[in-house]
Chain A
Amino acid sequence: MAVPYTFGSATTSIPLSQLDSNFATAITLGNTAVQLGNTITTLTGVTNVASSGSLTLGTSGNTTAITVDTSQNVGIGTASPTSKLTVSSGATGTAASFSGSGTFSEISFKAGASTTAYIGVNNSDFLVETGGAESLRLNTNGALILKGGSASASGVGIAFPATQSTTSNANTLDDYEVGTFTPTLIDAGNNQPTSYTVQRGNYTKVGNAVTIEIYLNVTTLGGSITGAVAIGGLPFAAKNVSDLYAPFPVVYWGTMNTSFVWLGGFVNSTATKIGLYKATAAVTNVSAMQASDWKNASDMIIGGTYLT
């Protein structure tokens, strides 16, 4: 049996019995060295080359760069690939680099008929895209931005959407927001004092829990506010649950028109106000605080947490 080969336009053959002796060392075609060992059985479009072993490609010094094993797993930087593509940088360094010339560079993933997901970069931000839309971004400031959050969020932290995406899952944190509001002293008809010295309200909302701090200082009470009073203007409406009252202790009161042994309040279902209650002595039932318990220059500090 003979192996045909072609040099230029001449075709000849070498007896198989002489293959080792003729091809045991590399032959040179132009400036390209080619070595044919005795494990090669077919060389037709580089198919079935490794019928009995792995295919390896290397560089000078016989260093293996790419390995295709008998399971058709491809290894780059490793001779033992464990998946269709295994890339190793060795002890140090970058294992793989992906880049593009535009503002986006991505790698796509797809399982069956599912929507393709991507990871990649937008300029210097790292992105994750699922369901056909961006779902997560880590920007250069170090902010982790959830879907709908501001891409330019500053500071290191988690940026939630500006508008809450409410979850029904009890183990999912779906909102964070801080801000201010303007508390008011109101009666049942929403009448207020004539003027205030201070109306300070801060809130922090984490999930469905709103924590508020209030300092209210009345300058002039005036005559329009009468009867039972409350602190209105809360930043969110309370959760709609009957017979649920969020407690609000009054930790300070001053210059009141009445002497108290206790003051406090609560927020009830769906409300945006704190109903105020009082005790002027040891009693079995507290009673609603009245506008007449206040006067010019009265002030109060109250705070607590309620659910939305």
Chain B
Amino acid sequence: MSTFTETKTVDQITVTENGIVLYREATRIFKDDVEVSKTFHRTSLTPGQDLTGVPDQVVAICNTAWTQEVIAAYQAQQQQNQLGA
């Protein structure tokens, strides 16, 4: 009888130049140790955002990348990019 197993891992973390952290969770299903399915779920986090529920390895990167200067610069950039501002 075949054995099915499911794994969920953060397989990609990216930090953009303005401090946004993007990460991808890959859910894989294996049949007898051979991958038969893979789905992705992506999440983006803006500097200073609440990190409740975020995977630990992503939190560690956010805490490193999000200095007060990065957070302030991001917020200033968002104000500047508002249409009609």
Q: Tell me which of A72-80, A121-129, A176-184, A248-256 binds B.
A: A176-184
Segment of A27-35, A268-276, A297-305 engaged in the interface with chain B: A268-276
Nearest-neighbour CB distance to chain B for A263, whole angstroms, equals 15
Expressed in whole angstroms, the Cα–Cα distance for A233 and B41 within the complex equals 11
Asked whether A285 lies within 8 Å of B11 as measured between CB atoms, the reply is no
Q: Which residues of B contact A (CB under 8 A)?
A: 11-12, 16-18, 20, 22, 24, 26, 34-44, 46, 48-50, 75, 77-78, 81-84
Q: How far is the CB of B29 from chain A (nearest CB, A)?
A: 11
A181 and B39 alpha carbons, distance in the complex (Å): 11
Task: Judge whether A245 and B11 touch: CB under 8 Å.
Answer: no
- Output the least CB separation between B13 and chain A (Å): 11
| Bound Cα distance from A182 to B50, whole angstroms | 15
Partner of A203, one of B18, B42, B49: B42
Tell me if A179 and B44 are in contact (CB < 8 A).
Answer: no
CB-CB < 8 A to A233: which residues of B? 43-44
CB-defined contacts of A203 to chain B, threshold 8 Å: 42
Q: Which residues of A contact B39 (CB under 8 A)?
A: 179-180
Residue of B at shortest CB range from A203? B42
Q: In chain A, what residue has the closest Cβ to B28? A: A150
Contact indicator B12/A190 (Cβ below 8 Å): no
* Number of residue pairs A-B, CB distance < 8 angstroms: 76
Q: Are A268 and B22 interface neighbours, CB within 8 A?
A: no
Nearest CB of chain A from residue B37's CB, rounded to whole Å: 7
Instruction: Please report whether the interface of chain A is mostly helix, strand, loop or mixed according to DSSP.
Output: loop
Interface pairs A-B: 6 shortest CB-CB: A179-B40, A235-B42, A272-B44, A268-B81, A190-B49, A181-B42
A18 within 8 A of B: no
Report Cα–Cα, A272/B74, bound state, in Å: 12
Q: Which residue of A163, A181, A269, A272 contacts B81 across the interface (Cβ within 8 Å)?
A: A269
Question: Complex Cα distance A235/B82, Å?
Answer: 21
Instruction: Please name all residues of chain B whose beta carbon is closer than 8 Å to the beta carbon of A190 when the two chains form the complex.
Output: 46, 48-50
Q: Does A232 contact B (CB under 8 A)?
A: yes
A270 adjacent to B16 (CB under 8 Å): yes
CA distance A147 to B21 in the complex (A): 26
Q: How far is the CB of A266 from chain B (nearest CB, A)?
A: 7
How many chain A residues touch B (Cβ–Cβ < 8 Å)?
35
Cβ of A71 under 8 Å from chain B: no
A277 x B48 contact (CB < 8 A)? no
How far apart are B4's CB and chain A's nearest CB, in angstroms? Answer: 14
CB of A236 closer than 8 Å to a CB of B: yes
Alpha-carbon gap, A285 to B49, bound state (A): 31
Is the beta-carbon distance between B82 and A288 smaller than 8 angstroms? yes
Set of chain A residues within 8 Å of B81, measured between Cβ atoms: 268-269, 271
Known contacts A190-B50, A237-B16: does B43 contact A182 (CB below 8 Å)?
A: yes
A285, B78: Cβ atoms closer than 8 Å: no
| New A-B contacts (16) at CB < 8 Å, excluding given A178-B40, A179-B24, A179-B41 | A152-B35, A180-B39, A181-B42, A182-B43, A188-B75, A190-B49, A232-B44, A233-B43, A234-B44, A236-B22, A240-B17, A245-B83, A270-B17, A270-B20, A287-B84, A288-B84
Q: In whole angstroms, how far apart are the Cα atoms of A273 and B77 in the complex?
A: 13
- Which residue in A154, A163, A245, A277 is a CB contact (below 8 Å) of B37? A154
21 A-B residue pairings within 8 Å (CB atoms): A150-B35, A152-B35, A154-B36, A162-B11, A162-B26, A163-B12, A180-B41, A181-B41, A181-B44, A182-B43, A203-B42, A228-B82, A235-B22, A235-B42, A235-B44, A236-B22, A236-B42, A270-B77, A272-B46, A287-B84, A288-B82
Inter-chain contacts of B42 with A (CB < 8 A): 179-181, 203, 235-236
CB distance from B28 to the nearest CB of A (A): 10
